[in-house]
Amino acid sequence: MVFCPSCGKENEELANFCYNCGNRISLLSDDSFEKKVEEFAEEIGRFAERVGKKAEEVGKRIYEDLSETGKRVGKKVEDSAKTIEKKLDPEIKHCKKCGEEYTGNPNYCRGCGEKI
């Protein structure tokens, strides 16, 4: 079967003219409507493949960027939680030099040896 290049209707292989619109179709050979559609579809497929690869690359970069951002945010949240914990529990004290926790009234820090 061949398709009319003018209206797209399917016609018999040996038809000289389209039964629907009357357009001449018998001179169509390797440059037939079907062949052009097939070539166009193949080009679309190659284009889609290139777009897919590019999208994958961009997706990987975004994932990596978000992962790094997430690590930085997580560290800040952890640091903030420690700061809040220090303020909420007056029994626990911290060395001003190294941040080591201590309770009671020691004279020197067990972490760095600094006088408290």
Task: Please report, for residues 5, 6, 8, 64, the alpha-carbon distance to residue 41 in angstroms, rounded to integers and kept in the order given.
Answer: 16, 19, 16, 34
Is residue 4 scored above 80 in pLDDT?
A: yes
Pick the more confident residue, 90 or 69: 69
Give pLDDT, residue 28: 46
Model pTM? 0.36
Please give the Cα distance from 98 to 112 (Å, whole number).
7
Tens-digit pLDDT profile for residues 6-32: 899 999 888 889 999 999 886 645 567
Tens-digit pLDDT profile for residues 71-103: 889 888 988 888 887 777 668 888 999 989 888
The mean pLDDT of 39-51, rounded to a whole number, is 94
Task: Catalogue the E-assigned strands of the chain.
Answer: 2-3, 10-11, 93-94, 101-102
